[in-house]
Structure 1
Amino acid sequence: LQESQITLKIEIPGEYHRALLSNRGQKIQELQSKYNVQIKFPDRRLRENAQNENEKNMDDGPSLLDTITISGRDTRCKEAAEALKALVPVTRTVNVAFEHHRFLIGRSGETIRSLMQAHDVNISIPPEDTHSDEIMITGTTENVESAVTEILKRVGEFEEAAEIRRLRSFKLSFDVPSEYHVRLIGPRGKVVNELRAKHDVLIAFPRSSNDPPDTITLTGYEANCNACKEEMEAIIGEAQSLFTQEIFLDATFHPRLIGQKGRNLKKVMDEFKVEIRLPRCTDPDPNLVVIAGKDEDAVYDCIEQLRREEEEFLQERRQYISPRVIEQPPPPPRVEVEIKGAPWQLDMQSEEQFPTMGNAQATAAAAGAWSGVRRF
């Protein structure tokens, strides 16, 4: 039997009509094609009149602005009506911890935009200054549910990552005498890099003068930090068990001992199976060198060779360095002496300087006394 044609009216609030007609009515066209019906929304030209009528007869029934008509076969109209109602946007609130919002938004909003496009919903995240946990998701019921599921899944991943960060931020500090730090670091950082990779931890040695000179800090999982500490203590224990001797080698000889890129120093250590620790710039004595090894004889043999090499170096140095030329200080500036009132500067004819005293004989005697004649 052929089904009769009917016109079915359904009420959907006018505020949602714009969303239903979005994308040039694409969703409505799909419904009409799928169910072979015709769907009509309130005419825009009649909206103003319908709104006035609605205001006058608010208690008489539903507003004409909310009424949508569906024309077609009986069963198909009912199916289309249900499908149309399913397209009505709904809003759901989801609580997401404020500290996870930045991860949900992503760099420059990339993550949140991809979520909205993938699920065809609108996601509203509260402003940062409100510190609110509520996120609003608007869209069709089906799309909202899928978006909520995806968001909660990502929140779970955020929380798991946060817990991992918390566990990995465990810090363990312990003291190791600073003279053994070089052994833990190794040549070109080889030992410390192997420890970091093996235990998946960060190892921090003191860097500035404000840091405790002996303190080493490990950062990572607690179990990993403890395991790394045990291995480092074992390395130090082995170093402390070595036979150790301190000798004084002239600091000017140290570059010769080290050689280009440390090759000479490495050669000596490999030859005698010893460790040679040279002073650092912060050490009080720049000449103090420490030699350690498992074999006591090897340590003394190494010391003997180093002393020979030092003596040869110093002899060469004295041979090729010329003695200093002691510079004589410049002579003091010449001081001109001006003599005034000397006997040879007096005026013998002046009565003021040579007054007449008694008779002429006395005067002559006086004059003779001041004359230029030498008396022997």
Structure 2
Amino acid sequence: ALRGFKLTMSVDPKYHPKIIGRKGAVISQIRKDHDVNIQFPDKGDENQDMITITGYERNAESAKAAVMKIVADLEEMVSEDITLDHRVHARIIGGRGKAIRKIMEEFKVDIRFPPPGSDDPNRVTVTGLPEHVDNAIDHLLNLEEEYMMAIVESETMAAYMKPPSRVDEEPRGSTRGFVVRDAPWNAPGNKAPDVSSAEEFPMFGTVVAPRQASAWGPRKF
């Protein structure tokens, strides 16, 4: 009968996921530490804010205190937006999110990156206790500076190694002809010869008909 002591506490439903924790890790630890059973309201229940703790009275009270400590910390939490160049996001997140999870665990904060197509692709939100948020932001800004140096260096090297564009070069096979310098017709009062004139250039202006071959074969001299 003593183990059947039951108490209820009102907690804003928005805090329930944090009390439960990732894959139930937080609430499982509280149940284990205090040897109690903790029940959250089901969907559709009238009182969505009520949490029920069952166990020995002393254990139930200590479990309630543990839950309220989590709620108090959550109520003190702040969210701050910072600007991190979107080009460094992938490096900060790391493969399969391993790097960002390590940062969140180390600084005890939640870090959210903008989704694809966001109006501000550089905005990152950090949530946690004020001191933890400040420390996490300092760390993220240091990472940004470090990674941006590597990115700029890489982009500069890529631009240097890129072959020159041939757009402005003279197309192969193009012919501009040639210009005769100091030609007589360049003198004042003279004009360039007309190569199509038979009078000035008989060999250019006349057409010589091909000689017809004799039916008896070539003439012999």
**TM-score (norm: length of structure 1):** 0.31
**Greater Cα radius of gyration, structure 1 or 2:** 1
**TM-score (norm: length of structure 2):** 0.47
More RCO (CA 8 Å, sep 6+): 2
